Amino acid sequence: MSDLDALTSSAYSQALEVIASVEPRVAEATRQELADQRGSLKLIASENYASPAVLLTMGTWFSDKYAEGTVGHRFYAGCQNVDTVESLAAEHARELFGAEYAYAQPHSGIDANLVAFWSILAHRIEGPWLEKAGRKNVNELTEEDWEALRKELGNQRLLGMSLDAGGHLTHGFRPNISGKMFHQQQYGTDPETGLLDYDLLAAKAREFKPLILVAGYSAYPRRVNFATMREIADEVGATLMVDMAHFAGLVAGKVFTGDEDPVPHAHVVTTTTHKSLRGPRGGMVLATEEYAPSVDRGCPMVLGGPLSHVMAAKAVALAEARQPGFRTYAQQVADNAKSLAEGFLTRGADLVTGGTDNHLVLLDVSSYGLTGRQAETALLDAGIVTNRNSVPADPNGAWYTSGIRLGTPALTTRGFGHDEFDRVAELIVHVLQNAQPGTTKAGGPSKASYVLGDGVAAKVKDASAEMLERHPLYPGLDLA
């Protein structure tokens, strides 16, 4: 064990002892979570493993500090150290992504998208409206002014990718706030190929004329041409907003460059800092200088007090992502996704779009006679952690679904390569081939319950354990 490993083990062991002195059940659940993650194949595309340095950064007294406002302009005294870590997070983000401006305060990806939406509205609608009304700022507005402005802000159009095509809830899905605050329409993919059709998207944009065109995805297994998306946005006078939460690590690691890098083409880019970026759970907004003043009002516009301890962890994670090794990691994430896809295809599985060229694979489980929910739970019983996901024109809807989404960032962090991901595909297919739908209490077919063949779960767990032992999680961390 290296000196650093020894320090890390000591830090976590002592931290758990302190926690156990107050609430031992929390300490035990924490220990068990590490054991569960060490002993399972984590294939959830939106999850990863943050470094011990990132994790330890979140457990500090920065958690105790309120810091509403912006760097150098806080509503609370004594924020000089928060200013330091927030400035570092923004500096690393700008350098890593080549962005003109970075905002590290959002608590999550959804918060980042809310900041982006309202920043665009403020820049495109509120500012010009104030000028037209002859007001210097919002403090001069009368109640009649506010009523008129509210109607203007609440009647704007947003065009985003549909949920079943691979978009996210926050891209205009009706149950989400984005689907309620905008007059929204959605674009999908080609029904035959599952791929984006930019000509059809452009035609829809010309007809609908959105104020905001949202690009990005959470379950689309292909790359996007953001130069083309910007051309479409410019033609109809829209602001191009890109949600790169899922693939930010591939952008940071220079797997996506040129037209596939959203930062040079979008007005505003949002992201999470976990997922493929491998940092703490949180959000971030990148923008051009034009939109920076509006984004900088994220708190108190839609955010509460920033989580200073998480911003500090973002700074550490972004510093890690600027190291040369992160580019190697990001390329391996993409290579491993191809290996996983090839492993499925050679075994006759049905993949949406027929493969992948990013970090995720979307597997249609209909051919096995299962819903996504049944497949997800059967795989979990066998020690394989995935999540069910809609496929285009999904007959089972967004709850039961017909697909499962699988991502490679987490197991790539553990050191898995081509051979292991081919084996993972083999194990998943084995589980699905040996699962069948259960029955409801009334005796009919169930969309939720399932029956898994005898011994299948144990066999798959044993096979997984061999790979997991070769690639241990946090290998230097000993909590014994």
Q: Are 248 and 373 contained in the same domain?
A: no
Q: Are 159 and 187 contained in the same domain?
A: yes
Domain-located, residue 309: yes
Task: Write a three-state SS string for the chain.
Answer: CCHHHHHHHHHHHHHHHHHHCCCHHHHHHHHHHHHHHHCCEECCCCCCCCCHHHHHHHCCHHHHCCCCEECCEECCCCCHHHHHHHHHHHHHHHHHHCCCEEECCCCCHHHHHHHHHHHHHHHHHHHHHHHHHCCCCHHHCCHHHHHHHHHHHCCCEEEEECHHHCCCHHHCCCCCHHHHHCEEEEECCCCCCCCCCHHHHHHHHHHHCCCEEEEECCCCCCCCCHHHHHHHHHHHCCEEEEECCCCHHHHHCCCCCHHHCCCCCCCEEEEECCHHHCCCCCEEEEECCCCHHHHCCHHHHCCCCCCHHHHHHHHHHHHHHCCHHHHHHHHHHHHHHHHHHHHHHCCCCEEHHHCCCCCEEEEECHHHCCCHHHHHHHHHHCCEECEEECCCCCCCHHHHCCEEEEECHHHHHCCCCHHHHHHHHHHHHHHHHCEEEEECCCCCEEEEEEEECCCHHHHHHHHHHHHHHHCCCCCCCCCC
- What range defines the domain where residue 342 resides? 325-470
Domain-located, residue 102: yes
Q: Are 334 and 452 contained in the same domain?
A: yes
Domain boundary among 268, 298, 321: 321
Cβ pair 386, 435 in contact under 8 A = no
For the chain, how many structural domains are there in total?
2
In the predicted structure, residue 457 carries a pLDDT above the cut 80: yes
Of 86, 111, 126, 243, catalytic: 243
Of 464, 15, 24, 83, residue with least CA distance to 311:
83
pLDDT tens digits for range 185-195? 999 999 999 99
Domain-located, residue 30: no
Q: What is the pLDDT of residue 177?
A: 80
Q: Are 314 and 411 contained in the same domain?
A: no
Q: Are 259 and 134 contained in the same domain?
A: yes
pLDDT band at 181 (very low <50, low <70, confident <90, very high): confident
Q: Are 307 and 331 contained in the same domain?
A: no
Q: What is the CATH number of the domain that holds 394?
A: 3.90.1150.10
Q: Are 195 and 255 contained in the same domain?
A: yes
Instruction: Report the distance separating Cα 261 and Cα 397, nearest Å.
Output: 32
Q: What is the CATH number of the domain that holds 286?
A: 3.40.640.10
Instruction: Report the distance separating Cα 70 and Cα 86, nearest Å.
Output: 9
In the predicted structure, residue 86 carries a pLDDT above the cut 80: yes
Instruction: Give residue 157's Cα distance to chain centre.
Output: 24
In the predicted structure, residue 480 carries a pLDDT above the cut 80: no
Of 354, 59, 23, 47, residue with least CA distance to 363:
354
Q: Are 333 and 276 contained in the same domain?
A: no
Q: What is the pLDDT of residue 47?
A: 97
In this predicted structure, which of 150-164, 265-279, 459-473 has the lowest mean pLDDT?
Answer: 150-164
Domain-located, residue 272: yes
Q: Are 305 and 277 contained in the same domain?
A: yes
Domain boundary among 287, 321, 355: 321
Q: What is the pLDDT of residue 273?
A: 98
Q: Catalytic: 281?
A: yes
Instruction: Report the distance separating Cα 305 and Cα 299, nearest Å.
Output: 7
pLDDT band at 135 (very low <50, low <70, confident <90, very high): confident
Give me the mean pLDDT over the 323-344 stretch.
98
pLDDT tens digits for range 8-35? 888 899 999 999 999 999 999 999 999 9
pLDDT tens digits for range 255-309? 999 999 999 999 999 999 999 999 999 999 999 999 999 999 999 889 999 999 9
Domain-located, residue 2: no
pLDDT tens digits for range 33-84? 999 999 999 999 999 999 999 999 999 999 999 999 999 999 999 999 999 9
Of 272, 273, 386, 408, catalytic: 272
Of 5, 47, 68, 357, catalytic: 68
Domain boundary among 302, 321, 340: 321
Q: Are 466 and 407 contained in the same domain?
A: yes
pLDDT tens digits for range 195-245? 999 999 999 999 999 999 999 999 999 999 999 999 999 999 999 999 999
Q: Catalytic: 347?
A: no
Domain-located, residue 45: no
Of 124, 222, 275, 423, catalytic: 275
Give me the mean pLDDT over the 140-157 stretch.
85
pLDDT band at 1 (very low <50, low <70, confident <90, very high): low
Average pLDDT, the chain: 94
Domain-located, residue 133: yes
Q: Are 153 and 228 contained in the same domain?
A: yes
Q: Catalytic: 272?
A: yes
Q: Catalytic: 66?
A: yes
Domain-located, residue 348: yes
Q: Are 287 and 385 contained in the same domain?
A: no
Of 66, 91, 357, 426, catalytic: 66
Q: What share of the chain in percent tops pLDDT 70?
A: 100
Of 74, 204, 281, 388, catalytic: 281
Query: Could you tell me the pTM of the whole model?
Result: 0.95
